[in-house]
Amino acid sequence: MTKVVQAQINGILIRVPEGTTILEAAKQVQIKIPVLCKHPDLPPEASCGICIVRIKGTNKMLRACCTPVENGMEIITHDPEIIEIRRTVIELILSNHPNDCLKCQRNNDCELQRLTADFGIHSESFPTFLRDIPKDYSTNAIDLDPVKCILCGRCVHVCQNQQNVWALSFLERGMQTRISPAGDIQLADSPCVRCGQCAAHCPTGAIVEKDDTGIVWNALQNKEKYCVVQMAPAVRASIGETFGQIGVNYTKKLYALLRRLGFKAVFDTSFGADITIMEEASEFEERLLKQTRPLPLITSCCPSWVDFMEKFHTDMIENFSSCKSPHEIIGVLSKTYYAEKFKIDPSKIFMVSIMPCTSKKYEIQRSSEMFASGFQDIDAVLCTRELGRMIKQAGIDFENLPEEQADSILGEYSGAGVIFGSTGGVMEAALRTAHYLITGRELEHVEFESVRGLERVKETEVEIDGMKIRVAIAHGLSSVEYVLEKIRQAKLNNTEIPYHLVEVMACPGGCVGGGGQPYMVTDELRVKRAKALYSDDKDKEIRFSHQNPYIKRLYEEYLGKPLGEKSERLLHTTYVPQPLYRK
Amino acid sequence: MENINTEEIKSLIQKWKGKDGNLVMILHEIQNRYGYVPRPVSLEVSKETGIPLARIYEVITFYNYFELCPPAKHTISVCMGTACYLKGAPELLEEIETLLHVQEGQSTEDGQFHVNVVRCLGCCGLAPVVSIDGKIFGKVKKSEIMEILSRYTHEENNVKV
Ligand code: SF4
Ligand code: SF4
Ligand code: SF4
Ligand code: FES
């Protein structure tokens, strides 16, 4: 049992497990100590100093975010001097920060702005000095404006430790300190995999998703364009947070919303996920039974993971599923299958993807295979946060919208398709269909509890027709190392492969924790978002991709069979090693 | 740029392998060898040691000792001691910065000149004083700067002033 320590906060007795920080403990007595560099999802950076508290009877000021409560401590969280110091911390930050709030992408959703308002700072107390550092728009996924950086260190921690990419770093020190890739190059020339985790954790407008709302509004106004849209599984579970609703599934209201914004047809990426499963499970069956290509088969539906592999783990290329990500599949089918069926000129179709993801903004021009329809298959990608802004701009009372259905032929999804948005979801969906492909029988128990949950690496064994199928699931790029190393060692020593099937998602929690999702994510929130998807699955009559009647129809009417000639041409891609640094 | 000797870097890394603070020591030797830390060398060190390039640059840029650019051919020092200051040194500096398109503390893009400011060169009687590679120019007028610089550029014949 953990030891309990006893202390006082503002004169109120508290008992907390040993190791609890003052910041956490204060919540017990209804006190919110202000924080700036501390993100609830990350270990303390202890760089800003706004969270200081006083120990009674001493001159000692301690940082609440990183100081554990000790037995007998008498902690004061607020007094006039503490408040004055906190105000000065903010004022000093503001003296190096542009007054751009009105034109900033984070306006009204910025942690620095909120604190400035809370502390009632209305004038400049220190002369302003702005650094002269160029912006970086190079990635087509995230935009960097280092002048707005308050040096909290969150993005550097996330990029280096959580993602193990090491694209971002702090260069120099003192007044010169800045976030930048090594050697002041642009992010696109660095190892950055565009996961957007830095943007999702940044307290200010220093790193934000590339804003494509303007392009989409223009397309929606353009009479020449036939605008269609699809939304990813994870979006339905998080958009509610824009309006204070947590863990609610808004699928049907989103369909209505997207129509009201002016889209002519509304598709669902979960249907694309069903197609991905048909192709991927077939690939798996081939590799397993016919040994066509090496096992394990590794999933490829996360573009940041693909980018990471092409840069850091090129020896795994042969193990990658060649299947495109679900939204790319809907993209290419909207400009081929759908266009042909509904007699729409595909050159007029403007296809928008609503994604939890910044990486997908870059993916749409990743290689020539993303133009398989003869046009750019996806014209624009909006993150959940951007959709949230568009709802507000359009003045739509989202929560009171009626419920609608998606446009069929690319909209009706199975339960397997919608869990793609959570870590373990792709694996579970693939196992459901692979079981059928391998045995010809349906599973009795469709739920694979062992692949769910937030453990960073999940390893388990599933029995299919007497065969033991070993699987691994990793999320958050720093977790993949362990899995890949095991595979590598087996290859090297020619021993039995440790896994048959591996799922990787770049973002912790999978896409529900994506870099384009609403701010202030924690594991608690990731679980709630995932739950919304799992209950959607549970409520579905059809929970297997291969049973989805629209999937059957798609293959009968158009594609032929999984891994057939047409499927290969439209739904598959290739991978090439990429340099870590282009400069 | 000088040729990068991969073997040399490998043996350097081998030498410091497993020792505390080895990255700093490796970079130190590289700085001594080349006069700066060339990017291809950093990339090589990163590849060989597995230390991310970002980490290497964090270290390089943290310590003033390390340089990322080759040292300039000529060092121009503008004296800002009291006498020089009063007799117009700031104007001289400004002129030099304008002509060479650099800021004080930086080198020209072609690596010909490095410009810096010094406290006192010890020859206040000649104020304002500018020195280039240790050679003193006294009682310099703003209008003479162009001519002085051109003596150094003409010998190279490849710097536009
Ligand atoms: S997008 Fe991801 S990889 Fe790129 S800098 Fe941000 S955290 Fe690092
Ligand atoms: S860019 Fe944002 S997250 Fe990164 S250090 Fe600056 S303020 Fe913090
Ligand atoms: S895990 Fe999902 S949100 Fe994150 S980069 Fe991959 S596809 Fe995008
Ligand atoms: S929030 Fe504690 S030091 Fe920044």
Domain match, B53 and B104 both: no
User: Which residue of chain A comes nearest to B38, CA vs CA?
Assistant: A183
Separation CA A415–CA A548 (nearest Å): 9
Average predicted confidence (pLDDT) for chain A: 96
Give, for ligand 3, the residue of A302, A383, A384, A504 to mutate: max count of ligand atoms closer than 8 Å to Cβ: A302
User: Which residue of chain A comes nearest to B51, CA vs CA?
Assistant: A166
Residue B104 is assigned to a structural domain of this protein? yes
Residue B149 is assigned to a structural domain of this protein? yes
Could you say which of A74, A369, A447, A481 is catalytic?
A369
A568 included as an active-site residue: no
pLDDT for B8 equals 87
Q: A50 CB under 6 A from ligand 4? A: yes
In this prediction, does ipTM exceed 0.85?
A: yes
Domain match, B49 and B93 both: no
Residue B39 is assigned to a structural domain of this protein? yes
User: Which residue of chain A comes nearest to B65, CA vs CA?
Assistant: A172
Domain match, B58 and B95 both: no
A182: which chain B residues are within 8 Å (Cβ-Cβ)? 42, 53-54, 56-57
Separation CA A493–CA A128 (nearest Å): 61
Amino acid code (one letter) for B46: S
Residue B68 is assigned to a structural domain of this protein? no
Domain match, B47 and B83 both: no
Where does the pLDDT of residue B155 fall: very low under 50, low under 70, confident under 90, or very high at 90 and above? low
Strand pairing class (A349-355; A226-231): parallel
Give, for ligand 1, the residue of A161, A185, A192 to mutate: max count of ligand atoms closer than 8 Å to Cβ: A192
Closest to A353 (Cα-Cα) out of A380, A324, A387 = A380
Q: Which residues of B touch A (CB under 8 A)?
A: 39, 42-43, 52-58, 61-62, 68
Q: What DSSP line would sit under B143-155, residue for residue?
A: GGHHHHHHHHHHH
Could you say which of A45, A111, A209, A283 is catalytic?
A283
Nearest CA to ligand 3 atom 6: A302
Domain match, B87 and B50 both: no
Domain match, B29 and B94 both: no
Q: Which residue has the higher pLDDT, A76 or B69?
A: A76
Q: A159 CB under 6 A from ligand 1? A: yes
Residue A39 has pLDDT above 90, yes or no: yes
Helical segments of A261-405, H only: 269-285, 303-312, 326-333, 339-341, 359-363, 384-394
A442 included as an active-site residue: no
User: What is chain A's Cα-based Rg?
Assistant: 25
pLDDT for B64 equals 84
Where does the pLDDT of residue B159 fall: very low under 50, low under 70, confident under 90, or very high at 90 and above? very low
Separation in Å, CA of A578 to nearest CA in chain B: 15
Nearest CA to ligand 2 atom 8: A152
If 0-12 CB within 10 Å is exposed, 13-18 middle and 19+ buried, where does residue A77 land? buried
Lowest mean pLDDT among A377-386, A487-496, A504-513, B143-152: B143-152
Q: How many CA atoms lie within 13 A of B123 on its CB side?
A: 14
Nearest CA to ligand 4 atom 1: A35
Where does the pLDDT of residue B161 fall: very low under 50, low under 70, confident under 90, or very high at 90 and above? very low
Q: What is the mean pLDDT of residues A214-233?
A: 97
Q: Which DSSP state fits B57?
A: H
Where does the pLDDT of residue A577 fall: very low under 50, low under 70, confident under 90, or very high at 90 and above? very high
Domain match, B131 and B89 both: yes
Residue B141 is assigned to a structural domain of this protein? yes
Residue B120 has pLDDT above 90, yes or no: no
Amino acid code (one letter) for A60: K
A166: which chain B residues are within 8 Å (Cβ-Cβ)? 52-55
pLDDT for A290 equals 92
Residue B160 has pLDDT above 50, yes or no: no
A347 included as an active-site residue: no
Q: What is the mean pLDDT of residues A392-400?
A: 96
Closest to A30 (Cα-Cα) out of A9, A4, A54 = A9
Lowest mean pLDDT among A55-69, A71-85, A221-235, B97-111: B97-111
Inspect the interface and report whether the beta carbons of A182 and B68 lie closer than 8 Å. no
CATH of the domain at B103: 3.40.30.10
Measured in angstroms, how far is the CA atom of residue B143 from the centroid of ligand 2?
47
Of the residues B53, B68, B69, B106, the best mutation for testing chain A's interface (the one with the most A CB atoms within 10 Å of its CB) is: B53
Residue A59 has pLDDT above 90, yes or no: no
Domain match, B15 and B49 both: yes
Domain match, B79 and B145 both: yes
Could you say which of A282, A300, A321, A479 is catalytic?
A321
How many domains are there within chain B? 2
Inspect the interface and report whether the beta carbons of A170 and B68 lie closer than 8 Å. no
Separation CA A74–CA A57 (nearest Å): 8
Q: A195 CB under 6 A from ligand 3? A: yes
Q: Report CA dihedral (A300, A306, A312, A318) to the nearest 10 degrees.
A: 40
Separation in Å, CA of B106 to nearest CA in chain A: 15
pLDDT for A566 equals 97
Q: What is the mean pLDDT of residues A385-395?
A: 97
Nearest CA to ligand 2 atom 4: A155
Residue B1 is assigned to a structural domain of this protein? no
A283 included as an active-site residue: yes
A321 included as an active-site residue: yes
Total beta-carbon pairs less than 8 A apart between chain A and chain B: 34
Which residues, 6 or more positions from A223, have their beta carbon under 8 angstroms from its beta carbon? none
Closest to A277 (Cα-Cα) out of A580, A564, A563 = A563
Residue B3 has pLDDT above 80, yes or no: no
Domain match, B79 and B147 both: yes
Domain match, B53 and B81 both: no
pLDDT for B107 equals 86
pTM above 0.80, yes or no: yes
Domain match, B83 and B105 both: yes
Q: Which atom, in ligand 1's list, is nearest to the CA of A196? A: 1
Could you say which of A363, A386, A412, A503 is catalytic?
A363
Q: A476 CB under 6 A from ligand 3? A: no
Domain range for B22 is 6-62
B52: which chain A residues are within 8 Å (Cβ-Cβ)? 160, 166
Inspect the interface and report whether the beta carbons of B54 and A181 lie closer than 8 Å. yes
| Nearest ligand to the CA atom of A47 | 4
The pLDDT tens digits of the residues spanning A554-569 come to: 999 999 999 999 999 9
Which structure tokens are listed for A578? 């990429």
Residue B160 is assigned to a structural domain of this protein? no
Domains in chain A, CATH or no CATH each: 4-78 (3.10.20.740), 103-207 (3.30.70.20), 214-571 (3.40.50.1780)
A565 included as an active-site residue: no
Of B39, B54, B62, the CB nearest to A166: B54
Measured in angstroms, how far is the CA atom of residue A85 from the centroid of ligand 4?
13
Residue A125 has pLDDT above 90, yes or no: no
Inspect the interface and report whether the beta carbons of B58 and A160 lie closer than 8 Å. no
A360 included as an active-site residue: yes
Lowest mean pLDDT among A460-469, B4-13, B93-102: B4-13
Inspect the interface and report whether the beta carbons of A181 and B61 lie closer than 8 Å. no
Residue B24 is assigned to a structural domain of this protein? yes
The pLDDT tens digits of the residues spanning A74-92 come to: 999 999 999 999 999 999 9
Q: 3-state DSSP call for residue A404?
A: coil
Determine the distance from the C-alpha atom of residue A471 to the mean position of all C-alpha atoms in its chain, rounded to a whole number.
23
Q: Which atom, in ligand 3's list, is nearest to the CA of A510? A: 1
Where does the pLDDT of residue B17 fall: very low under 50, low under 70, confident under 90, or very high at 90 and above? confident
**Summary count for chain B: helices (H), strands (E):** 7, 4
DSSP H or E segment with residue A148: none
Separation CA A439–CA A430 (nearest Å): 14
Inspect the interface and report whether the beta carbons of A166 and B52 lie closer than 8 Å. yes
Separation in Å, CA of B53 to nearest CA in chain A: 6
Report the sign of the C-alpha dihedral through residues A542, A544, A549, A554, in that order.
positive
Phi, psi (deg, nearest 5) at residue A318: -65, -20
